[in-house]
Amino acid sequence: MTKLPFFLGVMFASALGCAQTLSLPEPPQVRARNHVVSVTLHAVNVNGRDAFAFNGETVAPVIRASPGDVLKITYINDLPSKSPETCAVNPCMDMTNLHFHGLSVSPDAPQDDVLTMLAKPGQLLHYSVRIPRDYPPGVFWYHTHPHGESHRQVLDGMSGAIVVEGMERYVPEVKRLRERVIVVRGRSIELDPNAAALKRDVEIPAKGCGGESRPGGFHLEPLAEPDVNLSAHPAPIKQTLRSYRYPNVRREPCVPRQAVVETGSPGPYGL
């Protein structure tokens, strides 16, 4: 199966200097009121691909919470009763649920229970996820996790970011920095009629477009598996200008991290 790289994070970055400049829309943000984050998500199928729907748009919201907050999520399965896609275990039943990747919360219902909390088409789930008061800040993510179907649903784009606030208590300098949330998802393009063009859009050539690391920036080769390892790519870890917050989104437990990187003179840089 042909896949595009997967990366998720909260960062301040722009495209590579020799790549096409595009305007990145801000994903919707959901914040707590009286220490409760209330969200209603729908699972839908649009143009043959599964997606999260929020406030009438198929863009997964960024969930922002603080230690001690409770995530109250109503998740409605509006997927068709007969799926047009194929699954790891066929036939697809279009069942769905949520997993809060990287959050150390209870695995029992109604929290991060991926075993007994399952919604068939037309059903809904009520989640009440309590973030401990002493929880460290960081970036995490949520995605679907039904056995045999999560691989297809996540490749279709059923994922979103979770930000646990409070990093400025540990690194006061980041409080003055402007923050952007960018979620770049993996996607299966094996059967996509535009597969060749999509691969050209995302691949970084070895020469002529950042074949070697540029001073003050990053060079990341396309990855076969979700992985982010900035320690393997030199960049001066200093102060000012830009803040990058990113999680480890491999299959191992999520480890939130942060780096403050000096980008040098004004201009576009790649991450």
User: Does residue 36 belong to any structural domain of this protein?
Assistant: yes
More confident residue, 82 or 5: 82
Q: Average pLDDT, stretch 185-206? A: 69
Three-state secondary structure call for residue 84: coil
Segments forming the whole domain that contains residue 83: 28-166
Total domains present in the chain: 1
Minimum mean pLDDT among 71-75, 142-146, 154-158: which range?
154-158
Instruction: Report the distance separating Cα 61 and Cα 220, nearest Å.
Output: 26
Instruction: Report the distance separating Cα 143 and Cα 129, nearest Å.
Output: 14
pLDDT digits (tens, 9 = 90+) for 209-220: 444 444 433 333
User: Does residue 172 belong to any structural domain of this protein?
Assistant: no
User: Does residue 32 belong to any structural domain of this protein?
Assistant: yes
CB-based contact 114:144 (threshold 8 Å): no
Q: What is the mean pLDDT of the chain?
A: 74
**Residue 46 is part of a domain; what is its CATH number?**
2.60.40.420
User: Does residue 127 belong to any structural domain of this protein?
Assistant: yes
User: Does residue 91 belong to any structural domain of this protein?
Assistant: yes
**pTM given for the model:** 0.68
**Alpha-carbon distances of 73 from 41, 109, 147, 254, rounded to whole Å:** 7, 13, 21, 21
User: Does residue 235 belong to any structural domain of this protein?
Assistant: no
5: pLDDT strictly greater than 80: no
Q: Average pLDDT, stretch 92-102? A: 95
Indicate the pLDDT class of residue 246, thresholds 50, 70 and 90.
very low
